[in-house]
Amino acid sequence: MSCRPVSPGVLSIIKSIPSRNLVMLDLWHGFQLPHDFSPLLSTIEAFPKLSTLALNYFLPGPTPLDTTRPSFSSILHITLRGCSVTSTDLVYLCPNLESLNLSLDHVDRSVAGHMDPRPRWPKLSRLIVTVGHTTRWGGGFTTLGAAEVQTVLFKLLERRASPVPHLELAGECELTRDGVTAVDTDASRRLARLLAALQPRALTLPVHAGFHIPDRRLDGRLWTEVARVLPRLRALTLRRVGADDWELPDALPAALAQLQLRCLFVDASPVDRSGSSRYSSPRMELERVRALDALPSKLLAALPKMRVLGITGTAALPDAVVDTSEKWGLEDLRKWRKGYGERNTRWWRVDGEGAERKLVELWREYGEQAQQLVENAENYRVADLAEIYLDKCRYEP
């Protein structure tokens, strides 16, 4: 069930629903502040099978929740989108929680309390941390910038989150804009402290592609810090965000070589400009697909323990979004498509050892299954990937 906007009166109506079998509740809270825990908790108690709870812009005051009250053992997944630091006290009441998707509101008072001494949350399997855009709250409220909210979030997690196998950083978490160079020294240090505290074995980081003049003194420092604090990191996903194409630097494979990765997924999806008059030129588009086409072999050479590789963004943009007034390169693009098709995501396994290592392309579903296995296996072994080495898994167009 999804409901917006939510008030105590609306929660009373939801609570009175005759069926007790509700398993998902998605609540968008209204503008009346501060919000109150009491009607919310009373509503949750009415549904003993509730497994997924999503709260949007839930901003209770700074008074901590009484965590000695009866817990909600059925809840497995919580989303706190644009919420306050105090709202995270709900995590203490969910002993069987598996995943938490967390973002804080940018109103300055809503992030207060992140340094208060509190026990650590119960252990999770997956934690998604998102820094969003400017708060929706209007005049009369002081708002924080994305960098300030990121700092608050990271400090909150350092103090309260337990080690988590899967960590995903998303949204406006600006850590790198090219996949190699750190945004700045402070961002690199904040990330290192967070990773040292949470010790994920699978990590997803955003790449804020866009124009910038990189500080070459920071080349590779991001991955030097990650390798130092996460020597057992086994799976990494890099995902392009923003309004610009990700121009992968030549130094990316060497920078990632500092990690002992078994699985790497690079999401360099091209920007969708179909609704814009700003189209890519055939020359720029051809350069993009050629760079991605050359990347797998470079990563194979740089990552000796890699067993699974996936790349999104390999297909060329359709002719409709390429400026046809520039004829140069269009024919080359068509030839590229003829050879590689329109598959936007490709997966490979690594066959052989040492100098005999080579990439063998897989059907997409087998690549995704292998990624999940590497990420989820508590004690990963190469033998666990035996299934993707069957003949049926080889991609044959």
> Tens place of pLDDT for every residue, the chain, 397 residues?
888 788 777 888 888 887 888 999 999 887 667 788 888 999 999 999 999 999 998 888 878 888 888 899 999 999 999 888 999 999 999 999 999 999 988 776 677 778 788 889 999 999 999 987 545 555 455 667 778 888 889 999 999 999 999 999 998 888 998 899 888 888 889 999 999 999 999 999 999 987 666 666 766 688 999 999 999 999 999 999 988 889 888 999 999 999 999 999 999 998 876 655 456 788 888 888 889 999 999 999 999 999 999 999 988 887 777 777 777 778 888 888 887 777 889 999 999 999 899 999 999 999 999 999 999 988 888 888 999 999 999 998 8
- Find out whether the peptide bond into 5 is cis, omega within 30 degrees of 0: yes
pLDDT tens, position by position, 190-226 = 999 999 999 999 999 999 987 666 666 766 688 999 9
129 within some domain: yes
Say if CB 343 and CB 314 are below 8 A apart: yes
Position 264 in a domain: yes
Confidence (pTM): 0.91
Alpha-carbon distance of 231 to 180, in angstroms, equals 18
| pLDDT on residue 297 | 96
Position 97 scores a pLDDT of 97
Contact 262, 287 (CB under 8 A): no
| pLDDT score, position 301 | 96
Going by C-beta distance under 8 Å and a sequence separation of 6 or more, which residues neighbour residue 226? 191, 192, 195, 203, 233, 258, 259
Residue 180 in contact with residue 254, Cβ under 8 Å? no
Backbone angles phi, psi at 335, to 5 degrees: -65, -40
3, part of any domain: no
Q: Report pLDDT for 264.
A: 98
Q: What pLDDT score was predicted for residue 142?
A: 62
How many domains, in total, are found in the chain? 1
Whole-angstrom distance, CA of residue 170 vs CA of residue 79:
14
Is residue 349 included in any domain, yes or no?
A: yes
Check if the beta carbon of residue 25 is closer than 8 Å to that of residue 50. yes
Query: CA triplet 91, 92, 95: central angle to 5 degrees?
Result: 90
Domain span at residue 242 reads: 109-393
Q: What pLDDT is stored for residue 219 in this prediction?
A: 67
Digit-coded pLDDT (tens) for 326-353? 777 788 888 888 877 778 899 999 999 9
Burial 359-375 (b: 16+ CB within 10 A, else e): bebbeeebbbbbbebbb
Whether the CB-CB separation of 80 and 40 falls below 8 Å is answered with no
* 388 found inside a domain: yes
> For residue 367, is it within any domain?
yes
212 in any annotated domain: yes
pLDDT of 333: 85
73 is a domain residue: no
Q: How far apart are CA 318 and CA 380, in angstroms?
A: 40
Rounded to whole angstroms, how far apart are CA atoms 238 and 207?
A: 7
HSE-CB for 136 with a 13 A CA cutoff: 12
pLDDT for the residue 362: 97
CA–CA gap between residue 255 and residue 396 (Å, rounded): 32
- Between the CA atoms of 376, 381, 387 and 390, what dihedral angle is there, to the nearest 10 degrees? 140
